[in-house]
Amino acid sequence: MITIELSNPPDNLCDYTYNFFWNSDFNPDSLIPHQQGTEYTYREIVDHLKKEDTVQIVGDVAKRLAQGMGASISHLGGSGNTENAGNIIIDGNVAAEAGMGMVAGALYVKGSIGEPMGNIVEVESDMEGYRKFVSITELVCKGLQEKLLLNKLEGNNLLLNDAILRNTLAARCNCEASITVEGNAGNGSGLLMENGMLLIKGDTGMNTAAHLNGGTVYVEGKCEAFAGAYMKNGILLTEDAGSHVGADMKGGTIYSKKKANIDPPAKKGKIGREDIRTIRKLTDAGKFEILRYNKYEAGEEGKYVTIKMRDGSLVRRPVE
């Protein structure tokens, strides 16, 4: 076990993505700030967790703790698959977005934890004085022997009814699991899913079903911008897919009852018999109601330019 004592809370501790932002100059080999008596880098503590060892943090931590924990990140040369991970013990408070995209390991928290959370759920703790959180994906796909405190798990069917807002729900799910949310979900719902069913009985944030590569995401309410971005396979069905739908999608199908504002190369398709069967199976709607849905799929890829508008929004337009 390695222990880090902090005088102030840094962001992105134990982050397998190394604070990945497009065009970021972040250096994984830089020292974690505010350490007291140690000189660990961001990479060193991630490597420690990859060995299934424990990291203890004494003090508060800021946003995005354990982001992508347990994932072999493809843009960093990894396989894109999930791996085992160690545990993180926090003797302090944890800020919002802890466990986004987390697929393995556990968090033990002595203090409070902020919302929205990531892809984690609280279970009965096996460490006195600490709350325990595990990955939702690992819980449903690997049959963890954990007892939920507020939600319900039967086999690999999970019901989340604790009214906690979560980002990246079901991230990288690769099994025939079913996850149902009684309420709203945050950003990145269904991120990188390969299999299974995610049903959200409410609204979702941005990037719903982004990078979807199989499985089904059904949102009974509306999605914020960039739903279905970078989709490769699978189904997104929603009442209102929102704006910038299907940006850079390569495959898969998006169904939206309300007409969506799509981005290239997404195009509107024609509802056929197979689509009718799919929508009926998910919604139990009649044929007349089903025909009100709009279908979107990947069109031919061309050359596009991204233009930043005065209001800060991004618009993709074809290059003539």
How does pLDDT run across 139-188, given as a tens digit for each residue? 999 988 899 999 999 999 999 999 999 999 999 999 999 999 999 999 99
**Least confident window among 73-82, 93-102, 225-234:** 73-82
| Contacts with 25 (C-beta within 8 Å, 6 or more apart), sequence order | none
Is the pLDDT reported for residue 317 higher than 70? no
Is the pLDDT reported for residue 80 higher than 60? yes
| Contacts with 71 (C-beta within 8 Å, 6 or more apart), sequence order | 16, 78, 80, 81, 82, 83, 101, 103, 104, 172
Contact predicate 219/187, CB 8 Å:
no
pLDDT on residue 316? 59
Cα–Cα dist 184/38, whole Å? 41
pLDDT on residue 305? 61
pLDDT on residue 23? 47
Cα–Cα dist 266/29, whole Å? 39
In total, the chain counts a number of residues equal to 320
What region, left, alpha or beta, does residue 257 occupy, with left being phi > 0 and alpha being psi -120 to 50 degrees?
alpha
Is the pLDDT reported for residue 123 higher than 70? yes
Is the pLDDT reported for residue 101 higher than 70? yes
Is the pLDDT reported for residue 308 higher than 80? no
Contact predicate 290/252, CB 8 Å:
no
Residue of 224, 228, 221 lying closest to 201 (CA atoms): 221
What ranges do the domains of the chain cover?
A: 1-150
Is the pLDDT reported for residue 37 higher than 50? yes
Higher pLDDT among residues 82 and 271, named by residue: 271
- pTM for the structure as a whole: 0.90
**φ, ψ of residue 21 in degrees (nearest 5):** -130, 145
Higher pLDDT among residues 208 and 309, named by residue: 208
Amino acid 152 reads K
Is the pLDDT reported for residue 28 higher than 90? no
% pLDDT > 70, the chain: 92
Long-range contacts of 258-265 (CB under 8 A, 24+ apart): 258/222, 258/294, 259/294, 260/227, 260/294, 260/296, 262/296, 263/229, 263/316, 264/299, 264/301, 264/302, 264/304, 264/316, 264/318, 265/298, 265/299, 265/300, 265/301, 265/302, 265/304
How does pLDDT run across 83-97, given as a tens digit for each residue? 999 999 999 999 999
Is the pLDDT reported for residue 79 higher than 80? no
Contact predicate 215/190, CB 8 Å:
yes
Cα–Cα dist 209/198, whole Å? 10
Pairing of strands 213-222, 233-240: parallel
Summary mean pLDDT of the chain = 92
pLDDT on residue 320? 53
Confidence of residue 287 (pLDDT cuts 50, 70, 90): confident
Confidence of residue 22 (pLDDT cuts 50, 70, 90): very low
Contact predicate 269/295, CB 8 Å:
yes
Residue of 213, 216, 253, 210 lying closest to 230 (CA atoms): 210
Cα–Cα dist 240/221, whole Å? 7
pLDDT on residue 81? 81
Contact predicate 229/247, CB 8 Å:
yes
How does pLDDT run across 38-60, given as a tens digit for each residue? 999 999 999 999 999 999 999 99
pLDDT on residue 267? 96
Is the pLDDT reported for residue 302 higher than 90? no
Residue of 24, 28, 44, 100 lying closest to 69 (CA atoms): 100
pLDDT on residue 301? 64
Q: Name the β-bridge partners of 175.
A: none
Is omega for the bond preceding 116 within 30 degrees of 0, making it cis? yes
Residue of 193, 200, 166 lying closest to 177 (CA atoms): 193
